[in-house]
């Protein structure tokens, strides 16, 4: 028996499935085992051929039936996992649940056995569901029992704090395993004279990969380019069709899912790594996009560089609002032509005008001159 803590770790996903939650839970559990603790992960059986029970790098893993990768599936999986989590919790010292969907069993076990409960909140799904009054109340109940609420970004932590005032919350941005992610031999083909872009994203709507594909014809006007999309998802076929219709189908290679062990070679093949997103669920340290080699581009781009070129972006204005600057609060943008959103935290309402975007395509707030897509309402 291990001399350290015995930790039960319910998580909706775990490797061999590829994704952010999966990697987070695996690396955390692995490091806890290395430090002398015992970790038992309870997860769902999402990948064909995966064993229902196994030990991975010292981590005990139990997989339960998966009911699908959608809200109903998460709900059914959460309910069906309660008996197994409660059974295993009797032999553990603490419970650390990952995602609110895994918190039901952890909460029941913590109440039954009096075990300490920690919940780490992940992903943009939480941010979207937290906007709905009913789901916000459900998640408040699921998270209320936790002695500590960890978040993988500042953005998520802010929502959790508003949801549960007075709760102990800590944002811990995802780290990097520097033993794995370090410069290595290029894995991808690099045609001579061609600028290579790597995009490591799942092909789902919230990641905005479509906009990279649609921008490619503009990039091709400036230089020969090759794009590698490292990730899979339900939008793959539509993106392939979009690329073909734009005449850039031959310039994009859809690689499918790539395991973490193979990603250093993918990154090392790139001149530029692009990580698009339409919703901020994970904080980006410094907001920098780092280049992969010494060709044609500056060492890194930041929001400050973008402001110098094209004026203040909405993200920069929101950042100033957080620090007490001129633009207070978080304006909620709605599509043009719809009713304006509710008041922001600073008490102002914003609506769209008919001017659209600035000449560079960025959203700008009007101050009486120049094209603007936002104006203040009295």
Give the C-alpha separation, 187 to 270, whole Å: 10
Mean pLDDT highest for which of 187-201, 290-304, 345-359? 187-201
Q: Which residue has the higher pLDDT, 368 or 115?
A: 115
Q: Measured between alpha carbons, how far is 107 from 116 in angstroms, rounded to an integer?
A: 10
Q: Which CATH superfamily is domain 6-171 in?
A: Glycogen Phosphorylase B; (3.40.50.2000)
Lowest mean pLDDT among 87-91, 110-114, 251-255, 339-343: 339-343
Expressed in percent and rounded to 5, the helix, strand and coil fractions of the chain are 35, 20, 45
Which ranges in the chain are annotated with CATH 3.40.50.2000?
6-171, 195-299
pLDDT at 288 over 80: no
- Average pLDDT of the chain? 78
- Spatial separation of the C-alpha atoms in residues 376 and 363, rounded to whole Å: 14
Q: What average pLDDT does this structure show over 5-32? A: 93
Q: What is the mean pLDDT of residues 313-331?
A: 35
Nearest to 22 by CA among 14, 30, 12: 14
Q: What is the separation of C-alpha 124 from the centre of its chain, rounded to a whole number of angstroms?
A: 6
Name the least confident of 45-49, 249-253, 296-300, 349-353. Answer: 349-353
Report CA dihedral (227, 230, 232, 235) to the nearest 10 degrees: -30
DSSP string for 351-373:
EE-TT-S-TTS---B-SSSS--S
Lowest mean pLDDT, pick from 172-186, 225-239, 341-355:
341-355
What confidence tens digit (pLDDT) does each residue in 117-143 have? Answer: 999 999 888 888 899 999 999 999 999
What is the rounded CA–CA span in Å between residue 344 and residue 331? 5
Identify the DSSP state of 340. P
Are 121 and 99 contacting, i.e. CB atoms less than 8 angstroms apart? yes
Cβ neighbour number for residue 33 with a 10 Å cutoff: 20
Residue 283's pLDDT is 53
What would the pLDDT profile of 198-248 be if each residue is shown by its tens digit?
999 999 998 999 999 999 999 999 999 999 999 999 999 999 999 999 999
Strand partners, 96: 118
**Residue 161 contacts residue 169 (beta carbons within 8 Å):** yes
**For 263-287, what is each residue's pLDDT tens digit?**
999 999 999 999 998 876 665 543 3
DSSP string computed for 263-296? HHHHHTT-SEE----SS--S--GGG-EEBSSSSS
Which pLDDT belongs to residue 352? Answer: 35
Looking at the structure, give the CATH architecture of the domain made up of residues 195-299: 3-Layer(aba) Sandwich (3.40)
pLDDT at 326 > cutoff 80: no
């Amino acid at each position: 028996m291990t001399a350290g803590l015995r930790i039960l770790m319910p998580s909706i996903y775990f490797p061999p499935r590829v994704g952010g939650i999966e990697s987070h839970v695996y690396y955390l559990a692995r490091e806890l085992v290395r430090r002398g603790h015992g970790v038992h992960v309870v997860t769902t059986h999402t990948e064909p051929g995966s064993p229902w029970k196994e030990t991975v790098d010292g981590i005990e893993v139990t997989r339960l039936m998966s009911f699908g990768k959608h809200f109903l599936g998460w709900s059914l999986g959460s309910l069906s996992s309660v008996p197994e989590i409660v059974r295993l919790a009797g032999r553990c010292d603490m419970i650390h649940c990952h995602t609110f969907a895994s918190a039901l069993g952890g909460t029941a076990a913590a109440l039954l056995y009096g075990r300490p409960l920690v919940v780490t909140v992940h992903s943009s799904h939480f941010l979207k569901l937290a906007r709905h009054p009913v789901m916000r109340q459900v998640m408040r109940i699921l998270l209320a029992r936790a002695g500590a609420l960890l978040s993988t970004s500042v953005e998520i932590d802010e929502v959790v704090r508003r949801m549960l005032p007075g709760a102990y919350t800590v944002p811990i941005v995802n780290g990097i395993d520097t033993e794995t992610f370090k410069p290595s031999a290029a894995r991808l083909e690099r045609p001579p004279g061609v600028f290579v872009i790597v995009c490591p994203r799942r092909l789902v709507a919230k990641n905005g990969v479509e906009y990279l594909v649609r921008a490619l014809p503009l990039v091709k006007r400036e230089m020969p380019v090759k794009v590698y999309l490292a990730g899979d998802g339900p939008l793959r076929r539509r993106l392939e069709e979009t690329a073909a219709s734009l005449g850039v189908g031959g310039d994009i290679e859809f690689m499918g899912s790539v395991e973490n062990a193979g990603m250093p070679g993918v990154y090392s093949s790139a001149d530029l790594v692009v990580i698009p997103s339409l919703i901020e669920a994970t904080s980006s340290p410094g907001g920098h996009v780092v280049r992969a080699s010494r060709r044609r581009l500056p060492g890194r781009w930041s929001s400050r560089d973008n402001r110098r070129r094209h004026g203040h972006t909405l993200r920069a204005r929101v950042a100033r609002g957080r620090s007490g600057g001129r633009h207070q609060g978080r304006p909620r943008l709605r599509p043009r032509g719809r009713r304006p959103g509710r008041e922001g935290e600073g008490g102002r309402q914003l609506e769209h005008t008919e001017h659209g975007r600035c000449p560079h395509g960025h959203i700008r707030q009007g101050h009486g001159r120049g094209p603007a897509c936002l104006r203040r309402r009295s």
